[in-house]
Amino acid sequence: MNLMKLLETRRTYRRFDQSRPVSAAAFNDMALALRWSSSAGNLQPLRCVFVTDPQIVEAVFPHTHFAALLPKELGTPKPGEHPTMYVVLTYEKKTKWTDTDAGIALSNLTLAAWGHGVGSCIMDNIDRPDIAEILHIPESVTIHSAVALGYPTHTSQIVEPKTPADLKYFLDAQKNYKVPKRPFSEFIFENRYPEV
pLDDT of the residue at 119: 98
Give yes or no for residue 13 having a pLDDT over 90: yes
Q: In the chain, where are the structural domains located? A: 3-154, 155-196
The residue-averaged pLDDT of 11-29 equals 98
Alpha-carbon distance of 46 to 37, in angstroms, equals 10
Q: Give yes or no for a contact between 19 and 72, defined as CB atoms under 8 angstroms apart.
A: no
Own/partner long-range contacts of 97-100 (Cβ < 8 Å, ≥24 apart): 97/39, 97/40, 97/41, 97/43, 98/45, 98/46, 98/144, 99/144, 100/40
Q: What is the pLDDT of residue 44?
A: 96
CB atoms within 10 A of CB 3: 8
Query: How would CATH label the architecture of 3-154?
Result: 3-Layer(aba) Sandwich (3.40)
What predicted TM-score, i.e. pTM, was given to this entire model?
0.94
* CATH value of 155-196 in 2.60.40, 1.10.3470, 3.10.150, 2.20.180: 2.20.180
- In Å, what is the CA distance from 101 to each residue of 21, 36, 77, 132? 28, 11, 29, 21
Mean pLDDT (the chain, rounded): 95
Fold: same for 3-154 and 155-196: no
Torsion angle in degrees (nearest 10) through CA of 172, 167, 89, 35: 90
pLDDT band, residue 37 (cuts 50/70/90): very high
Q: Given a cut of 90, is residue 54 above it in pLDDT? A: yes
**Model confidence at 21: pLDDT above 90:** yes
Q: Tell me the C-alpha to C-alpha distance, in Å, between residue 159 and each of 88, 121, 179.
A: 30, 19, 6
